[in-house]
Structure 1
Amino acid sequence: MKLKGSKQEQEFRKELEGSNLVLAKDGKAELIMNVLKDTFGELKSAYILNWTPEQGEDIYTILVDTDKIAKVEISRVNHSEVPLIETYNLKDFQKRLSKVFQIKLAVAIDLAKTEHQEG
């Protein structure tokens, strides 16, 4: 998807710039990063695309580097419970998305590519 610099893209960019888990310092971000590193090895960026607070857990949809998607489920009740992770191929994942979410994903990929060039 080609980015056009629309207002919506700019809003997503601002939101996503603050969601790179590689740069985050809080406990929840560290927990998610540990799960991602165990699954993917070293990574340069991990942007939270979506966060769904459920009754007993938080579910995060994350763009890992520029080409992988991870869904991480973390219990809010039992902190010793091992987080669950599902991984998706970017192309397969994109097919099921709404137009708006495809724009958000395209902005995140753009940010990740910029991150990888700098790093």
Structure 2
Amino acid sequence: MKLIGSKQEQDFRKELEGSNLLLTKDGKAEKILNVLRVTFGELKSAYILNWTPEQGEDIYTILVDIDKIAKIEISRVNHSEVPLIETYNLRDFQKRLSKIFQIKLAVAIDIAKTEHQEG
């Protein structure tokens, strides 16, 4: 998807720039990063695309580096419970998304690519 610099894209960019887990220093981010590192090894970036608070758990959809998607479910009730993780191929994941979420994903990929070139 080609980005055009729309207001929607700019809003997503602002939101996503603050969601890079590698730059966040709190317990929840560390827990998510640990799950991601066990699954993928070393990470260059990890952007939260979506967060869904459920009754007893939080579900995060995360762009890992520039080509992987992880969906992580972390219990808010039982902190010793091992988080569940599902991984997706980026191309397969994109096909199922709404137009607006495809734009958000494209912005996240653009940010990650820029970050990877700088790093």
**TM-score, with normalisation over the residues of structure 1?**
1.00
Residue matched to 1:60: 60
**One-letter code of the match for 2:112?**
A
How far is 1:69 from its partner?
Answer: 0.1
Instruction: Give runs of aligned pairs for residues 1-119 of structure 1, distance below 5 A.
Output: 1-119=1-119
Distance 1:20 1:61 in 2: 12
- RMSD value, Cα: 0.3
- Unpaired runs of 5+ in structure 1? none
Kindly, what percent of the aligned residue pairs are identical?
89
How far is 1:85 from its partner?
Answer: 0.3
Distance 1:79 1:58 in 2: 12
Deviations 1:66-115 (A, max 9, x none): 00000000000000001000000000000000000000000000000011
Deviations 1:16-55 (A, max 9, x none): 0000001110000000000000000001100000000000
* Large movers: runs of 4+ above 4 Å: none
**TM-score, with normalisation over the residues of structure 2?**
1.00
- Unpaired runs of 5+ in structure 2? none
